[in-house]
Structure 1
Amino acid sequence: MTTIKEIGRFCPTDHNGNILNDASLQNINPGFMKVIEETIQHYKTHLKEDLHSIYIRGSIPRGLGIEGVSDLDTITLTKRNIHDLDLGWVEKSEHYLNEEYRCVDGVEFSFYSVEEVLNTNHFSIIPFMIKTHSVCVYGEDVRVHLPEFKADITLGNAHLVNLKRQIDQAKEDLVGNDDEEDIVDCCRWIMKIIVRAGLALVIDKESKYTRDLYPAYTLFAKHYPGKETEMKQALHYAVNPVESRDEILAFLEGMGSWMINEADKWLDVHNPKKEWNL
């Protein structure tokens, strides 16, 4: 069992409140470099001239990666629409890298067209993640072409407007599911969403943001002390996911339903039309 560590930090900001990117190549633990290099090679081999750029996001480029615990999350921009690409190789590549490199908990491939990412008329989480939480490890860095982002209701909305759909999807995936690995993956995924949604509920009061789970939990608990125990349980599930679908479903029926209700109250104030992107 992984011990919950009091690690992580809120995003730094400039004097205007714009979120600063604290990811860099220099922050990456050398123990992760081999898997990063081979992941880049898989992208280059299969995408060839359709490859525009590759980014590493999350804890690893921020110097917070824990060997054997952290995921290697990648974002790749392509020159063509992803629906026009043959991505049949991805599952095999991910499986190979996950078996070959135990320094990470998993390697995640993701694909977006560069045209899609540079269209920033409305808020979108991928341009946000590239601008504020990622480092370019191959190709032309588009971060200079992306707008600044603040820890405000626009960002909070991205975490709350789809919360009910995400919790309902988790329930649907769990009911009747006997695949323990699938249940664990679902548990980790939905609990991270819940913890980050907890932070989003108070983002208009605090003007702070983090992708890191522990500080997100503490900021939520500051404003909702009566729900501190339940959110700490969500944090525990995110770090140490369980194989019991019934246990997860019971939590989602309780704390999950409460979170949906609170999200609806927040949206009634800040986004009554329930627009996906502000």
Structure 2
Amino acid sequence: MEHRGLDTDGCFEREGSLGQVPGAFAAVVAAARGRIRDAYGRRLHSAYLYGSVPRGTARPGRSDLDLLLALHHEPAGEDRDAAEVLARGLDEDFPEVDGVGILLYGKDTLLSEAERFDLGWFLACLCTPLLGADLAEHLPRYRPDSLLARETNGDLADVLPRWRRRLREASTPDEHRRLCRLFSRHLVRTGFTLVMPRWGGWTSDLTESAEVFGGYYPQRADQMRAAAAAALDPVADPAVLRAYVEDLGPWLADEYTARHGTKTPRVAGGGRT
């Protein structure tokens, strides 16, 4: 029987490792480690990789580098400025990556009860330790249940108005491609977590996620397969983005709410974007 990303107890196995980083990305990962340490010094508690690079599926020149930084304190303006400089420098210096994304949080937020089934799960199950003591040691085991589905992606209805605004403001092909990658990834992952408890497992592979979703919602399967393809190879067609925010997105938000409920509101932001 396939284990579907779970151990023998039915809990998530942590995906990715430094040993799985493709050789083409070894230099940028090493540079990221050194530059993070230099930029944050004692302010840094720990740093993590996530996404295709530690999963071993990244494509040189096509994939981005994703980092999560945990600080001893809540991020301030200078911390965010340092993250922007760090991301821009890595992106410019290493053609192997197509963009660098950095998530920045205080360790207390990552370990908080409010984030236990969102950021906490994300760190413990989808992030690979790069620097410092692993915060996952302070977090529980996780299962692919409805609570996790609700707290990770049960906020699509709140996200859609922001997407519509960003789409209205976008005017260039590059802007449309960036939005296409963002929207497509989010929709495919939300579609997968909608059916995750029924499927009984986990995958971060977008193509597989769309196929799993399609097995439960055949009437939307083609749309989700197309979104998975666009997430990997973004298009600059505004009509695709309009279909996301006017059709697939609203339907998915309603179905998600009906099955899992809505994500618990955060007092001051929180969660991943």
**1:237 matched to 2:226:** no
User: Which one of the candidate residues 146, 155, 165 is aligned to 1:153?
Assistant: 146
User: Which one of the candidate residues 8, 29, 34 is aligned to 1:36?
Assistant: 29
* Distance in 2 of aligned mates of 1:274 and 1:32: 35
**2:137 aligned partner:** 144
Alignment of 1:112-123 (within 5 A): 112-120=105-113, 123=116
* Distance in 2 of aligned mates of 1:164 and 1:260: 5
Structure 2 vs 1, CA of residues 275 and 141 (structure 1 numbering), >3 Å: closer, same or farther? Answer: closer
User: Which one of the candidate residues 213, 220, 225 is aligned to 1:227?
Assistant: 220
Deviations 1:74-101 (CA, angstroms, capped at 9, x unpaired): 1111111113744323323322221221
Superposed displacement of residue 102, structure 1: 1.6
* Distance in 2 of aligned mates of 1:86 and 1:138: 17
- Residue 109 of structure 1 aligns to a residue whose secondary structure is strand
* Distance in 2 of aligned mates of 1:258 and 1:175: 21
* Distance in 2 of aligned mates of 1:10 and 1:74: 27
TM-score, reference length from structure 2: 0.88
Unaligned runs of 5+ in 1: 1-8
**2:181 aligned partner:** 188
User: Which one of the candidate residues 260, 264, 268 is aligned to 1:275?
Assistant: 264
**1:52 aligned partner:** 45
Deviations 1:203-260 (CA, angstroms, capped at 9, x unpaired): 2312222222111101111111111111112112212222232431134312222212
Structure 2 vs 1, CA of residues 86 and 202 (structure 1 numbering), >3 Å: closer, same or farther? Answer: closer
Unaligned runs of 5+ in 2: 267-273
* Distance in 2 of aligned mates of 1:274 and 1:137: 30
97-106 vs 188-197, which deviates more? Answer: 97-106
Superposed displacement of residue 122, structure 1: 5.2
* Distance in 2 of aligned mates of 1:211 and 1:166: 21
Structure 2 vs 1, CA of residues 133 and 159 (structure 1 numbering), >3 Å: closer, same or farther? Answer: closer
**1:67 matched to 2:60:** yes
63-72 vs 47-56, which deviates more? Answer: 63-72
* Distance in 2 of aligned mates of 1:251 and 1:143: 34
Q: Percent sequence identity over matched residues?
A: 24
* Distance in 2 of aligned mates of 1:188 and 1:158: 23
RMSD value, Cα = 2.2
**2:90 aligned partner:** 97
* Distance in 2 of aligned mates of 1:121 and 1:163: 18
